[in-house]
A and B are shown apart, each in its own frame.
Chain A
Amino acid sequence: MAIRVNGRTFEAAPNPGQCLRTFLRELGLHGVKKGCDSGDCGACTVWLDGEPVHSCLVSAVQAERHEITTIEGLADGDNLHPMQEQFLKACAFQCGFCTAGMIMTCAGMNEEQRADLPAAMRGSLCRCTGYRAIEDALNAVTNIDEAPAAGKAVGASVGPADGRGIVTGTAQYTLDHDITGLLHLKVVRSPHAHARVLSIDTSAAKAVPGVVAVYTWEDVPDKLYDTAGHENHLVDPDDTRMLDQVARFIGQRMVAVVAESVGAAEEGCRQVAIEWQELPAVFDPSAAMQPGAPLLHEGSTLDGHLKRPASNILLEFNKSRGDVEAGFAQAHIVHEATYNTPRMAQAPLETHGSVTWIDETGVLQVRTSTQTPFLAQAKLCYLFDLHASEIRLFSKRVGGGFGSKQEVFTEDLCLLATLDTGRPVQWEFTREEEFYGAAPRHPMRVIVKLGALADGTLTAMKMDVTSNTGAYGNHGGEVLYASSNSMTWYRCNNKQYDGRAVYTNNVPSGAMRGYGAVQTTFAIECAIDELASALGIDSLEMRRRNVVVPGDDVGIERSPGDDVLGGYCLDECMELVETAMARGNGVEAPSGDDWRVGSGYAISMFESSPPTEHRSEASVTLLADSTYQVNVGTCEFGNGTTTAQAQFTATALNTTVDRVTVVHGDTAASGWDTGAFASAGLNVAGKAVALAAQALQLKIVNFASRYLGVEPNDCVLGADEVRSGKASVSLVELFAAAEDAGVTLAQARRAYGSPISNGFNVHGVRLAINTTTGDIVFLQVAHAVDAGTVINPMALRGQVEGAVVMGIGGAVTEWFQNGPRGEVLNPGLRMYRIPNFADAPKVEVYVPGTADKFGPFGAKGAGEPPIDPVAPAIANAIADATGVRFRDLPFAPPLIFAALQPTAAAQP
């Protein structure tokens, strides 16, 4: 049939059951993204006869009757559509994966729809921005600084280099390329929470037309490993097999089917027959620790990890200082309570996916959606006994991560199939697989006990954490370790932390923004509020009397540490938020008798580098055309670190950002980088880039001084030349001279995540809560963030807004539900509701801008932790409004109702 797309006619024959989205992508129109395939997210939005539709819901055959426009056809040649221009100028994106669909939606709205954006924007989800910048784009607000002068990039709102590609749909993400002969991989997942495979019959699957191979536990390397990525792999337990004979949770991958098409692979999966022996299962961590509980990793050899295999305890940490019992004895008041935090899905708009092939030189190529290329490469080397020179692993632009891509979930099976078949193999997660094939936030039960004098001075702090790591231990230890940090921002000589991570037959938990911190910040910041309230002390005053100040130790244990207060502004952050809340914003509560209004605050401190080893090697090279190339291993998934790295380079080398290219996320293109997590993209990789650029500046100046015969101290490097008084040499000439002299005008530097500077977040919220329905309306949200010296004001604001809205999601809209067998009840964006445009309030962002002594250019990476104090501030506001303390997240209306009206809720 003939189909008209972007004014061109394509001759192609879609399958009868094919949706327009996959059909358009097969035509090479990769600007049409997949986010959900259920009409909820809008990433695949295109126009049919000028009307926006979700192309995932449209029959490709029916679409033949219409004129189709995709993002690639929106611009008039090189002239961007006004909406593309507006998105670019507002920088209305971070990862950019939703952007093409957003632009097609916004550009296709009529006046009536424009007048009610909250309604019109349902069906257009963004996980990064918190929507403010998107609204700015719709209102033609400019947020970026066009072309800052040479050497002035740091501190300017520089837009990302990929911006134009993002708004035109041409920026490449993981699966946005065509490979001939591509095979597709799908897996059979366990329907049982705990069961042993007795037999697997793959004959019917292999007989499905198009199926090329079927792999079971018998076909994978006999190796135990862990899916999580850390510099030191020993922090994670080797408890996982690529395909196992035992299923430990509903959703565990058991059999892989590789076929010529996705449909054939799916049909192959349906034809696999597994005979099971069901085993007893346990879902609650407390029950899992009881004697006689079903054991998940019985008899395993998890050296140094499985602390008490007979209790399902993966790992325990105990830390203390002083004498807590003496501290409680000294206290005038003691508060003790239990707080529970749930699973939460990272829900990046781009699902996990990989494609693997063998290049013409025999090197294995792995193109994947990852935050940690080098760690993923190392893991694959281990699994398949490869040397690093035999495998290249890289990411293109990554469509959001939030921690979920600090794991190897798809790369290994693709590589197995490529090694076996010799052919390219791709595996793209469905949205549902993100919920049971990836790894959500660890649920925790946190018992907090605080003692204080009448004036509020803390005398003792005790925290007991039970973390539910699920069926496997990926990130279980490190998240638990990080959970103790929430005791560090209060000065108190008597502290005790006891924590344990426990195996259960649930979906394994993993890394997520606010890694271990979100859970215990909720507990501590609610508990401090409760204590303040009991003492009749103002909530922020209570904190002022107890927070760490310069000169204090910031550890729990009294041991040598590398945590430092490298730039202190917690006092200023609190004042900024308090002033903003006192000023108010004029927004009133909805009218009606059943609305109550309250305000709440919470604070948090974060480490601007990971606690375990983190290192990065970067290089900066002068090119023949007087531009610079940065090579660094970190990834770009909307975190903005490549833009910051370009700004560091441009500033150090006194050039403009458009003359800096950052090559990133590729094991073949740079030295080692541990990965983009825990703010390390700025603080570690960014520092390596800054050091390399500063070193190159010296090298260029020194070479130029020799070339010109002048003193180096008199030489000034500019964007085009090096000048010394009247003498000057262009960089083009200097480059050629250096080539002739056998000198490479390039420098590499390594950086480490030590010492670890601490930063701060303070959150204030005023909300209205409906005591009848349980509905919550945000009236004012104010947030102060300590990012050290601000490198990119717009990017920072975007990160804070996105993090705060994600925090609101975790506190209010996102309700991860599991059934009695641990099954995920709402594995999709329709029923697991990440905030949409209407759910996201305006966030007032305040930034002291106090320089950090250790960060590159005085900066602290601050994109991750603004989420930490959001949920407790909301809980404190709800308590202020209703007098009822909610100690369990989330605050979904039915749960609020159950707490506020227990009698009505209990009616049979």
Chain B
Amino acid sequence: MTDMLVPPAQDLFHDWRDGDTWLAGGTLIFSQPMPHLRRLRDLSDTGWQSITVSEAGLEIAATCGITELHEFKPPEHWRAGPFLRQSVEEYLASFKVWNRQTVGGNICASLPAGPMVTMGAALEAQYKLLAMDGSDRIVPAINFVTGDNTNILQPGELLRSIHLPMASLMRNYTLRRFSLTKHGRSSIYLVGTHDTKSSEILITVSAATIHPVHLRFTGLPSSEQVRKAVDQLIPAKLYFDDPNGTPAHRRHLTYVFAEQIRTELSAS
């Protein structure tokens, strides 16, 4: 590492070079050796508004701190409002990490157990990405993470913001999480949301799989339908195999938790 640059907010990609990377809170970049990096592009001066509430939903800047999200008080009529805070709490990292880490940083780390990855996928977020050529694109959260620590970002591409649609925030929700130790990293994290008008149920499977998976049901599904969906949409190779869980245990708990979520949401 030889250099640090604070790019001007109006020209974030100014003088992009090989070996550059974005620096927000730094909790990932400083947690392990990254000898390939040559320059950090500090996002401290972007001035992006962390959290913006509108009729369309919630706009979270990528640079929004985890602690800021935790302290955000959503309008009471948002049925999924408490989930924002819960997403942070269902998290291995300590509040001392939250004090530095950003929402966007956690998403871009794209770890299977990333809680912001789960939140984005479960609430069907739209991610706005800025490219070096000045263009931007909007992608659904469920398509962003492609595997353990991999995602769709092109070189230099920057996650600008996370849009949580009002329709998602107005859904009922429930969640099931399991970690091998108390307050440990998620071994499996399932979130179910329920649109009471359309009766749609969406179960997001994360942490157990190398990227989040949606199990979507129009109308209340049966146990059998849930189990079938798990089998069809999560092939064996998608279950994550790491020191924090086994594929067999994760699949087993996926069945169990998906069924629990189905039962609970069906009653709501």
Residues of A within 8 A of B (CB): 15-19, 37-39, 42, 45, 48, 51-54, 56-59, 61-62, 65, 105, 109, 113, 118-124, 266-267, 270, 772-775, 812-813, 815, 817, 825-826, 830-833, 835-836, 838-839, 892-894, 897-898, 901, 904-908
Contacts and interface: CB of A to CB of B under 8 A. Distances in A.
Contacts of A835: 181
Given A52-B96, A57-B31, A16 B39 contact: yes
B30 A58 contact: yes
Given A17-B1, A907-B251, A62 B96 contact: no
Interface stretch (B49-57, B132-140, B190-198, B239-247): B239-247
Given A52-B95, A813-B180, A17 B249 contact: no
Nearest to A773: B178
Contact of B96 (A54, A830, A893): A54
Contact of A905 (B4, B31, B248): B248
B1 A57 contact: no
B178 A48 contact: no
Interface string B151-190: 0000000000000000000000000001011111101000
B14 interface: no
Contacts of B125: none
Contacts of B96: 39, 42, 45, 52-54, 105, 123
5 contacts: A42-B96, A52-B95, A59-B4, A831-B185, A833-B180
Given A123-B93, A836-B181, A267 B35 contact: yes
Most buried by B among A48, A52, A62, A772: A62
B100 interface: yes
A62 B180 CA distance: 35
Contact of A122 (B4, B32, B183): B183
Chain B interface residue number, banded: 35 or more
B245 A894 contact: yes
A904 B252 contact: yes
Contacts of A48: 99-100
A499 B102 CA distance: 54
Contact of B248 (A812, A839, A898): A898
A385 B178 CA distance: 56
Given A16-B4, A815-B243, 18 more contacts: A15-B1, A16-B2, A17-B2, A39-B96, A51-B99, A53-B99, A54-B100, A65-B44, A825-B243, A830-B185, A831-B243, A836-B181, A893-B178, A893-B249, A894-B180, A897-B249, A898-B248, A905-B252
Contact of A58 (B26, B33, B95): B26
B23 interface: yes
B182 A839 contact: yes
A772 B95 contact: no
B95 A57 contact: no
A821 to B, nearest CB: 16
B256 interface: yes
Nearest to A824: B243
Most buried by B among A124, A835, A894: A894
Given A53-B99, A266-B35, A839-B182, A19 B30 contact: yes
B44 A62 contact: yes
Interface string B25-40: 1110111110101011
B181 A813 contact: yes
Contact of A774 (B67, B95, B249): B249
Interface string B1-25: 1111000000000000000000101
B248 A907 contact: yes
Contacts of A908: 236
Interface string B83-112: 000000100111111011000000000000
A901 B252 contact: yes
Contacts of B1: 15-18
A897 B248 contact: yes
B253 interface: yes
B107 to A, nearest CB: 17
Nearest to A827: B243
Interface string B244-264: 111011011100100000000
B42 interface: yes
Nearest to A20: B30
A14 to B, nearest CB: 9
B93 A39 contact: yes
A270 B34 CA distance: 12
A57 B94 CA distance: 12
B22 to A, nearest CB: 12
Contact of B26 (A62, A105, A832): A62
A16 B3 contact: yes
Contact of A826 (B97, B243, B252): B243
Contact of B252 (A17, A105, A825, A897): A897
Nearest to B236: A908
Contacts of B244: 831
A38 B244 CA distance: 17
Given A16-B39, A19-B30, A51-B99, A118 B182 contact: yes
A204 to B, nearest CB: 14
Most buried by A among B236, B243, B248: B243
A715 to B, nearest CB: 59
Contacts of A56: 30-31
9 nearest CB pairs, A to B: A123-B94, A17-B1, A838-B182, A894-B249, A16-B4, A826-B243, A894-B246, A122-B183, A57-B27
A39 B31 contact: yes
A39 B27 contact: yes
A813 B244 CA distance: 11
A894 B248 contact: yes
Contacts of B248: 894, 897-898, 904-907
A830 B92 contact: yes
Interface in B194-246: 236, 242-246
Contact of B182 (A62, A65, A836): A836
A39 B97 contact: yes
A296 B7 CA distance: 56
Contacts of B249: 774, 893-894, 897-898, 905
Contacts of B35: 266-267, 270
Contacts of B178: 773, 775, 893
Nearest to A121: B94
Nearest to A54: B96
Contacts of A772: 253, 256
A59 B3 contact: no
A711 B225 CA distance: 98
Nearest to A21: B30
B251 A836 contact: no
Contacts of A831: 185, 242-244
A123 B94 CA distance: 5
A606 to B, nearest CB: 28
A893 B236 CA distance: 20
Most buried by A among B39, B40, B187, B244: B244
A119 B99 contact: no
A123 B251 CA distance: 29
A480 B242 CA distance: 32
Contacts of B187: 893-894
A62 B42 contact: yes
Most buried by A among B4, B40, B185: B4
Given A897-B248, A898-B246, A54 B97 contact: yes
Nearest to B176: A773
B243 A58 contact: no
B16 to A, nearest CB: 16
Contacts of B23: 59, 62
Nearest to B89: A119
A266 B92 contact: no
Contacts of A15: 1
A65 B42 CA distance: 13
Contacts of A120: 94-95
A37 B42 CA distance: 21
Nearest to B182: A838
B77 to A, nearest CB: 24
Nearest to B231: A907
